[in-house]
Amino acid sequence: MGIFLCDCGGSLKNIDFPKISGDLEKLEDVAFIDISHSLCLEEGEKAITSRILSENINRVVIAACSAELREHKFVRLLEELRFNPSLLSLANIREQCSWTCEGDVTEKATELIRMAIGKARLLQPVERKNVPVNREVLVLGGGFAGMKSALELSRLGIRTTIVERKSTLGGKLKEVEGFYGLETSLKQMLDSMITAIEKDNNIEVLTSAEVTRVRGEVGDFDITIGGGRREFSLSFGAIIFATGYRTEILPQDFELKPGGNIISQLDLVEMLRAPEKLKRRPETIGFVLDVCDENSRLPTLSSLNNVLAVREKLGSEVYVFCKNLKVDSEGAEELYREARNRGVVFLKFDEPPQIYREDGRVTIKAKDVLLGEEVVLLCDLLVAEERALPPEGTKGLSSMLNIGTDSQGFYQDENVHLYPAASARKGVLFVGGCRGNLDLGRALTDIASAVMGSYSLLALGEAVVEVEKVRVDPEKCRACLTCIRACPHGAIQLLRVNTEKEVAQISDLACDGCGVCAAVCPAKAINFEGYSDEQILAEVETIGG
């Protein structure tokens, strides 16, 4: 065992390095102890290199600054020297020792190094190797986010298959009339995307199709796709979810049922598409927002767009009853100003407005907070607020993949470590509306990060894994399924050894190295090299003695 101590350019004055060195020299398995001033600099790396090459050692202990800063550098250096980096043990004698106390901490430093030595003794080499991964990506959903992801991946040379439940591509883009604030019209954008996809040899499109089963893990997902009478299996390296959202007027949000002159945004869009079919032009149209959900990014955006479309195509008088009017999307503020310039009246309420049906018209009664007076509006049409909800099938897919949903049923809880597009399962990514209330600008950010995520994972056609870093001992495993249920990353599967025995098997690629399985296993059959029970206990037992 070789030990390198670093005194950080002589700045760790409250540690007596010669004394530590003298103490540790007595240990039998220590080959040498080097005291350096700067292991992090080139000369320090050179010193480590020459020592490791000249001495015959099989463990390395480095006592220096935090693992956060230097571990990756030491690991890379050892790799270059063909010394297995899993045989490296670190002691943090700067941030967690010298800098935490004014007085002399030699004794604490010695103990920290002894802990690292105790752990180093038990370390076993972990082999690293390349495993093949499938370079194809499955994109679920053929809306804006799905199409854009596929096009972007295609530009990077990654083949994709888009699976769309409906018979045509386009998703929600088809359900908006006019998209103000964009230079090209929405229809042009949609058409050009669909044409690009049709021309693209890297993109295959399956319409009227659904995913019915998911097996396997990152690098090799085995997906069964059904649709109509056919059902077939395909293999993919990663999955991008772009299943979007659906909108609905929920009965519990409004006392009156939609129908007649209380309509949804989609009904309005249909009206706007063929204004000549209307028997009578509606003179006054009311919009209600922020009643059921004040965090209403998508309903606000679509309302603002539709308000402008109404002014342009029907010329009706428009009144918008709102509370906060969430205009945090790119360009939404501009749309709001434009709407006001074109004569749309915005009325802000504090208490939800009362809505009645009267003589074929709708009355909206609300107290305007700015006027301080009650406003009664008689309108021909009321466009009710819709909620953005997770699309049908979300539950089925999330349980198939063993991935949780947030409180509203959307995919992807806002976890700081996984945010924005990654999920607990490696190779499963979420973009756009299926993650919640996201507008196009935010969806674009998601798409970029999902495209980069899947590209970096699959581009080379192979990935480096640490072979059996977390390993199930087939002799001890009783196939009780505890680890399979506990694994947050879906990385453990049951493997049939012979007709009588099944054991849990951990995928090196899908494993994220948390060690939860090793802690829950009742048979203690799972060994997490680097953090095994013995290694953790060796550290515990060194303390104090």
Partner 1 sequence: MSMGTDNKIIAFCCEKSAYLAADRAGRMRLYYPDNVRIIRVPCAGRVDALHMLRAFEKGAAGVLVMGCQEGACQHLTGNLRAKERVRYTASLLEEVGMDGARVKMVNLGPDMAQKFVRVVKDMAEKIKER
The footprint of partner 1 (CB under 8 A) covers: 66-68, 92, 94-103, 105, 107-108, 111-112, 115, 404, 413, 415-418, 424, 486, 488-489, 512-516, 518-520, 528, 531, 533, 536-537, 539-541, 543-545
Residue 515 CB, nearest approach to partner 1 (Å): 3
Residue 196 CB, nearest approach to partner 1 (Å): 37
The CA distance from 93 to 110, in Å, is 9
| Torsion sign, CA atoms 312, 313, 319, 320 | negative
Residue 116 CB, nearest approach to partner 1 (Å): 10
Nearer to partner 1, 203 or 491 (CB): 491
Q: For residue 20, what are the contacts with CB-CB under 8 A and spacing of at least 6?
A: 5, 106, 109, 110, 113
Nearer to partner 1, 109 or 443 (CB): 109
Nearer to partner 1, 381 or 538 (CB): 538
Nearer to partner 1, 96 or 449 (CB): 96
Closest residue by Cα to residue 425 from 356, 340, 348, 511: 511
Residue 466 CB, nearest approach to partner 1 (Å): 13
- Return the percent helix, strand and coil in the chain, to nearest 5: 35, 25, 40
The CA distance from 146 to 190, in Å, is 12
Under a CB-based contact definition with an 8 Å cutoff, are residues 146 and 162 in contact?
Answer: yes
Residue 140 CB, nearest approach to partner 1 (Å): 22
Three-state helix/strand/coil letters over 349-364: ECCCCEEEEECCEEEE
Nearer to partner 1, 248 or 473 (CB): 473
Nearer to partner 1, 14 or 212 (CB): 14
Residue by residue, DSSP assigns 407-455 as: TTS-B----TTTTTTB-SSTTEEE-GGGGSS--HHHHHHHHHHHHHHHH
Residue 512 CB, nearest approach to partner 1 (Å): 7
Closest residue by Cα to residue 380 from 367, 356, 363, 355: 363
Beta bridge partners of 28: none
Residue 114 CB, nearest approach to partner 1 (Å): 10
The CA distance from 442 to 352, in Å, is 29
Residue 473 CB, nearest approach to partner 1 (Å): 16
Burial letters 306-343, b for 16+ CB under 10 A, else e:
bbbbbbeebebbbbbbbbebbbebebbeebbebbeeee
Nearer to partner 1, 102 or 276 (CB): 102
Nearer to partner 1, 391 or 420 (CB): 420
Under a CB-based contact definition with an 8 Å cutoff, are residues 291 and 256 in contact?
Answer: no
Q: Is 99 helix (H, G, I), strand (E, B) or coil?
A: helix
Residue 417 CB, nearest approach to partner 1 (Å): 4
Residue 35 CB, nearest approach to partner 1 (Å): 21
Nearer to partner 1, 30 or 536 (CB): 536
Under a CB-based contact definition with an 8 Å cutoff, are residues 355 and 256 in contact?
Answer: yes
Question: Up-side HSE of residue 175: CA atoms within 13 Å toward CB?
Answer: 19
Closest residue by Cα to residue 163 from 134, 192, 141: 141
Beta bridge partners of 375: 366
Nearer to partner 1, 114 or 442 (CB): 114
